[in-house]
Amino acid sequence: MVHFQVIQNLSDKLGVRYVELNFVICQCLALLCSYIFRWFFKPTKVSATTRHAVQLVVGFLLAILAFNMGLFHVLIDATVCYIMMLTIDPHLAQYYVFAFSMSYMSAVHIYHQSLELGVYNLDYIGPLMILTMKLSSLSWSIHDGCARDEDKLTDQQKKMIVRKVPNPLEFYSFIFNVPGLLVGPVCYFTHYIEFIDGTNFMHSVKNEKEEEVMVYKEPSSVRAVTGKLLFTVMSALVLMLVVPRFPIWGNVDDDFINNRSMLYKIAFLMLSIEVAKSKYFFAWVWADAINNAAGIGFNGYDKHGKPKWDGVTNIRIWNFETATSLKVLVDSWNVTGSTWLRHVCYDRVPFQKQLITFVLSAVWHGFYMGYFITFLSASLFVTAAKKVRINLRHHFQSSVGLSRLYDVLTWACTHLCLAYFIAPFTFLRWDPCIKYFNSLYWFLHILAIAALFLPGRRRTKPPSEETSKRPEVLNHNLPPHISESFNGSLQFEDKKEAVKREWANQEQVICIFYVFIYSCLSYQLWSGARG
């Protein structure tokens, strides 16, 4: 990899890796360029062609700085796939594009792994992974638009549908667009064209004659960008100051394994994983801010009339941290990546959808054993969690208190499972992964496998019994002013919705519990370290 001497000298003085400093510089430039683009190249001032050209030229120059020689990998991969889209029948092109882009990226993964160069997703490998998402999703969207009946498409496929192969300017502008160049989030082609044309800011209003007309109204993203940049700074501080105190590799230290109790090991594991997330929060939330600065990610208005800027995002932090199921947790992490997996794999394969999707995710990350251990374990735990939910959840729905208790317990179990199976993602190699699981006696794997033998579905009561008994039980546990408002004809599900509205602060309870638990764990570890 060719280094720019100025950046190399500065990285030596600051004592940081070249790729880290280069990433920060490129992201700062991307943020500045995004604001300039939005100020001076609005869709109301210049044509879509001009906006495409600006994104292509600036993105290409930024790629030279960010990727160095890796730029050739991006160009080769993108160009070959584009030629396939132009020349191969749309009934089949998506298979060739998917196979080539995955194979090319995999070859780069294997090359780096064979030379023991380590994992540096801040160089060109990360953008090459994003490129694979862009190319394969675009080819499948073209297939959906040109070779399938729209009636047979899923809602997501309809939103991402593309009716024709884009021209070269549109294609390479999409590949090199500045806001999503380094770490995403991936703005898929349909949404990218809406951003370029300005139709993402078009909405219908009534004129003086009460006629529906389309107007262009671009809301401010200053508040969203500022908040995300502040969160980025906080994540950077945690990454620099806290993560070194609780390293994930500490979980496989010989002294730690031999001289710490099981409870202490679990506490340290959860804290080390929790603070390690700051690495992804730092990169992804910053990338979200850059997209919002350019005008990407607008998602309508909330009930208070404030603009929402979460339409294109890498992570939904609140949903992720308060998730009470592994499915919600997985769907809230690397959101555009989850969209890609569903678009090119989960909705396409005829059998074992979940398992194949997790395997594809592992291959997309690379070929270290730690990736496969993590994602195969995740598939096991997601399946086991569904079985547990089916067999246990209904026992906690007779009152609001029990429902809250269930949410708290499932939250704790969800994040314990995450910490347990995600650690090998960092260890990478086989030996430390096995050493780590041996130190914890594989206890969650054993419980998950046992859960698979639970019944698939619980037997439901006859409808008459459901409607005659359930409301009675529920009413006894409701506050009086709610209970009196119900009448006998109201169905149980309607009453359950009323309970949800009455206790809408349930997420706050989970958040408070979240802070309490981690405070206790921190104190436990701090006391143990001092002792």
CA 511, 514, 520, 524 dihedral sign is negative
SS3 category, 388: helix
Inter-axis angle of helices 353-365 and 93-114, to 10 degrees? 50
Using alpha carbons, select from 19, 26, 15 the residue that is nearest to residue 3. 19
Preceding omega of 185 cis (within 30 degrees of 0): yes
Other Cβ atoms within 10 Å of 108 Cβ, number: 18
| 428 within 8 A of 120, measured Cβ to Cβ | no
Using alpha carbons, select from 341, 353, 350, 345 the residue that is nearest to residue 379. 353
Count the alpha carbons within 13 Å of 198 in the hemisphere toward its beta carbon: 19
Q: Which residues pair with 212 in a beta bridge?
A: 206
Catalytic residue among 52, 109, 365, 415: 365
Q: Which residues pair with 213 in a beta bridge?
A: 205
DSSP 180-225: GSSS-----HHHHHHHHHTGGGEEEEE-TTS-EEEEE-----HHHH
Buried b / exposed e over 382-398, threshold 16 CB at 10 Å, is bbbbbbbbeeeeeebbe
CA dihedral of residues 52, 54, 56, 59 (deg, nearest 10): -140
| 228 within 8 A of 285, measured Cβ to Cβ | yes
Structure tokens at 177: 């667009």
CA 377, 378, 383, 388 dihedral sign is positive
334 is catalytic: yes
**Residue 345: DSSP 8-state:** I
CA dihedral of residues 34, 35, 36, 41 (deg, nearest 10): 80
Contacting residues for 275 by C-beta, under 8 A, at least 6 apart: 238, 242, 243, 246
Expressed in angstroms, the distance from the first to the final Cα of the chain is 46
251 is catalytic: no
Catalytic residue among 251, 334, 343, 415: 334
Could you give the CA distance from residue 397 to residue 395 in angstroms, rounded to a whole number?
6
CA angle 442, 411, 277 (to 5 degrees): 75
Backbone dihedral region of 300: left (phi > 0), alpha (psi from -120 to 50 degrees) or beta? left
Q: Which residues are catalytic?
A: 334, 365
